[in-house]
Structure 1
Amino acid sequence: MLFILVDSKRFLFLLVVIFFFSLESYAGDLSPRSRLNEGIQFTYNFEFDKAELTFSSLLKKNPNDLFANHFSATLSLWKYFGSNKKKYLEEFLHQSDGTIAKAEQNLSGNPKNKETLYILGAAYGYRAIAFGKAEKYLEMIWASKKSNSYLEDVLEIDQNYYDAYLGIGLIKFALSQVPSGFKWALAMIGFDGDSEKGLSYLKIAAEKGNYSKVEAEYYLSQLYAEFYFDYDKSKRYLAKLNQGFPDNLLFNYSFAVLEVKRRNLSSARNILLSLLKEKTSEFEQLMALSKFLLADVYFYENNFEKAKDYYTRFLSETKEKNYSGIANYRLAICHEFLNDRAAKYYKTAQHGNEMLDDDYYAKKKSEIYLQRNISGVEKSLIFSTNLLKQEKYDAAIDSLTILLNDNHSQNYHSQIFLLLSEAYYYQNKFDSSLVFAQDAIGEKSSSESWVVPFAYYFASVSSLKTNDREKAAHYFDKADNFSNFFYENKLKSMLKNLARSINN
């Protein structure tokens, strides 16, 4: 068990992220069902005072109402994730202990009661989330195992208890992302991962679930964006959720994240500026992350003055290490473009969360710029990369072509070729994209080892677009053989998605 904890930190972080703000429910016919549903709807729309009053009124009538106990406890968990305040964690665990005790007592008299089994599965699932967030990983794995066991018991009794599919589906998908070298260890403790089955379970919950429908739709939106890069499907789910629950800050924030991925920066900016007008003391961390994302938007727009302002705000307000590394690094870059001193930000960029690709990249790049000044060519590469983020592909190509002819750019040709390949790919000029990807591969940059595997990816996907599956498979295999480079996790996800297209 300890071996897993020490050597699979990325997997553990994935579990925390994938369960972030989870909100499951039940499919039983517990009276008064309509009042419970009303409380859940208030929760979805971030009307927590109303939700708390609703659950409290149910508990006054029946203190042993398992579902009211369960959902009342989840309000504290939402607040813990939104603010990172320990008092909310303690409140949640205390309330969760009470729910579990009552459920176990009920189960002793009726061991096949599917509603009670479901509550136990859901309660332990939330505890896994809480323990993961608090970095108590042994407790997290134990709670995850208990949750999975109870939910599987539910489906053994009734395969049509559709809400139970959500929790099992999330666990199966998360475990499918574990490196193959650790799968045997997970199997020993009763875990198995299957991304396709996990996704199908989530679809069942989204299509047939009662109270789990909204949560399943939210997680599908996240998985399609993060692992399948299908931004259109993700947007359909998120647009529906935002329409139904316009005051849900998480759904709003997630939509802004998606718009950045879709390179629709103006839309993301408008969403975030509106979100940041909200006054809330219970979701300080989410608001801080919104400022970080808005800083990224301005950074990608090459508006370094405004980006600097919002990175500074994020760093002064965040309660976590997550993204502090990349925020400090990009803040340093902003200062470089504004001809200000940047060294202190490169130094603080060393202290982010290295489990995150962005923070790890920030640490390593900052180490370089603490040893020497950033070059003019490197600043031009950043500026051109940002043009791609803005979908200004012609402008990026012009800028990169000029840079390619600069006498000082010789050591950066591989990066220039890769960016040109990307620009032509998104213009649907796949032959040109392939040519520049091959040029990037031929340069074999020693200082930026990430360039070549990404170049092989663009060579593969461009070949596939021209219906040359044999060449696509060849370049795919080349890309898949690389390891230990910047943004390896991102590329591995891109390759998994590409493999499905090549093999169809």
Structure 2
Amino acid sequence: MTGLLALFRNIFSTFLILTVSLSAQSYPDSKVDELLRKGIDKIINQNYDDAKKIFSELDKVRNDIPLGKIYLAATEIAKSYDYELPYNHNLITDYLELAKSISKKLIEKDKKNIWNKYFLALTEGYIAYYDAIRGSWLQAISTGLNSISLFEDILETDSSFHDAYIAIGTFKYWKSAKTEFLNWLPFVDDEKDLGIKFLTIAVKNSSYNYHLAVNSLIWIYIDRERFGDAIELAEKALIKYPESRIFRWGLARAYEDIDTQKAINEYFKVLNSFPDTLKSNNINEVTLKHIIAQQYYKIGKKSEAKKLCEEILKIRNYSDYEKDKLEKRLKRVQTLYKELNSY
């Protein structure tokens, strides 16, 4: 199932950072448009409490549309994903089910309204991603395909709706990349290049929020070993959002195969960027220190790698949630530490 998880993480990573590129198609209500833009900026800069306030206001101002509820759910998912905290399942599910119900009713009233279809596509995308990270694979696949199908319908209606290019392009690339072993079959198409093309279109045309497609492209370029392209994209995104861990983590990964010391520096920036209130959260600390230790080991800085392993192995106050999430990684840390001690 790890392959499926990787597929869904990449297909719907765009939803995590909010797949709304609103420059090419702004929502007709200027107040809604304004609140969406502000809320999106807050999420990308990890100001989750501010984002919740903005999307709560949006939900009050226009409770006849589902955007407030969609983005309240998105904020909860993004915060838990970023901070490695347990998901508030009941709250997230309530937001998304209400959003889905509102979206379907709007479509029943006006099937030709592209925004109504977009609301449902976006909601289905979030539901699919959330199902995937909780291990509900069959449901995630079904809902995810529904989301992509809706985005394809949107694109057929309006080819300038560049948000659809982001979702479809991301899906086409990772679907093909994770099923390459089947590409020899006559009925299985290799759509990786088409996926990159769609995302490139979104980047070029979504001038205000083009960075929402950038995150997908960063990881696709890394997957294609186009590390220079990944670095260029990540650095451009960080000019606008210098505090964003999403883009800096991608930048650090891209540097691993170009300049390992720079990768280490970037990973340390990510590690040190978490708020003080999360100092007791062990998952990100262990994960990042292990990654950095591996990079040190790769360039022969064994004492630095050993020190980080020792810091990890000294941690004792794991919660049950953290123990479950870190079980396999801690075993790899112990293996690396033993190897370092053998020198």
Asked if Structure 1 and Structure 2 have the same fold, meaning a TM-score greater than 0.5 normalized by the shorter chain, the answer is yes
Q: Is 1:177 aligned with 2:177?
A: yes
Which residue pairs with 2:166 in the alignment? 166
| Kept in 2: contact 1:154–1:161 (CA 8 A) | yes
Which stretch shows the higher mean deviation, 233-242 or 291-300? Answer: 291-300
SS of the residue 1:262 aligns to: coil
Q: Note the C-alpha offset of 1:38.
A: 1.2
TM-score, normalising length: structure 2: 0.84
Other-structure match for 1:292: 290
Per the TM alignment, residue 136 of structure 1 is displaced from its structure 2 partner at its CA by 0.6
Question: Contact between 1:163 and 1:211, CA under 8 Å: does it hold in 2?
Answer: no
Give aligned-pair identity as a percent: 19
- The residue that corresponds to 1:268 in the other structure is 263
Q: Is the 8 A contact 2:17 2:44 kept in 1?
A: no
Where structure 2 has 5 or more consecutive residues not aligned to the other structure, the ranges are: none
- Provide the residue aligned with 2:197 in structure 1: 200
Runs of 4+ in structure 1 off by over 6 angstroms are 320-323
Equivalent residue letter for 1:306: K
The 5 A counterparts of 1:8-407 are: 10-20=3-13, 21-25=16-20, 26=22, 27-31=25-29, 32=31, 33-179=33-179, 194-209=191-206, 213-226=210-223, 228-265=224-261, 267-277=262-272, 278-279=274-275, 280-281=277-278, 285-300=283-298, 301-303=301-303, 304-312=305-313, 319=322, 325=328, 328-338=331-341
C-alpha change, 1:16 and 1:106, in structure 2 (3 Å) is: same
Shift of 1:132: 0.9
Please say if residues 122 and 167 of structure 1, whose CA atoms lie closer than 8 Å, have aligned partners that are also in contact. no
Cα-to-partner distance string for 1:57-79 (whole Å, 9 max, x where unaligned): 22222222332332222101112
Say which SS state the counterpart of residue 203 (structure 2) adopts.
helix
CA shift, 1:241, in A, is 1.4
How many aligned residue pairs are there? 327
> Residue 162 of structure 1 contacts residue 210 of structure 1 at CA under 8 Å; is this kept in 2?
no
CA displacement at 1:122 relative to structure 2: 1.3
* Larger deviation, residues 93-102 vs 321-330: 321-330
Quote the offset at 1:334 in angstroms: 2.2
Matched ranges for 1:430-469 at <5 A: none
Greater relative contact order (CA < 8 Å, ≥ 6 in sequence): 2
1:94 CA drift (Å): 1.5
Q: For the Cα contact (< 8 Å) 1:28–1:115, is it kept in 2?
A: no
TM-score after normalising by structure 1: 0.59
Q: Give distance in 1, aligned partners of 2:71 and 2:245.
A: 19
Report the CA distance between 1:322 and its aligned residue.
7.1
Q: 2:122 & 2:315 partners in 1: Cα distance?
A: 33
Q: Are the equivalent residues in 2 in contact too, given 1:81–1:285 (CA < 8 A)? A: no
In 1, the alpha carbon distance for the partners of 2:285 and 2:271 equals: 7
Amino acid at match of 2:341: L
User: CA RMSD of the aligned region, Å?
Assistant: 3.0
Find the aligned partners of 1:261 and 1:322 in 2 and give their Cα distance: 27
Flag the 1:158–1:85 CA change in 2: closer, same or farther, 3 A.
same
Higher mean C-alpha deviation, range 155-164 or range 327-336: 327-336
For the 8 Å contact 1:238–1:255, the answer to whether it is kept is yes
Asked if 2 retains the 8 angstrom alpha-carbon contact of 1:80 and 1:86, the reply is: yes
**Cα contact 2:283–2:326 (8 A) shared by 1:** no
User: Deviations for 1:373-393, whole angstroms, at most 9, x for unmatched residues?
Assistant: xxxxxx6xxxxxxxxxxxxxx
* C-alpha spacing 1:119/1:192, structure 2 compared with 1 (3 Å): farther
Cα shift readout 1:399-445 (whole Å, capped 9, x = no counterpart): xxxxxxxxxxxxxxxxxxxxxxxxxxxxxxxxxxxxxxxxxxxxxxx
Amino acid across the alignment from 2:152: E
Structure 1: tracts of 5 or more residues without a match: 1-7, 340-378, 380-504
Partner of 2:202: helix, strand, or coil? Answer: helix
Based on CA coordinates, which of the two structures has the bigger radius of gyration?
A: 1
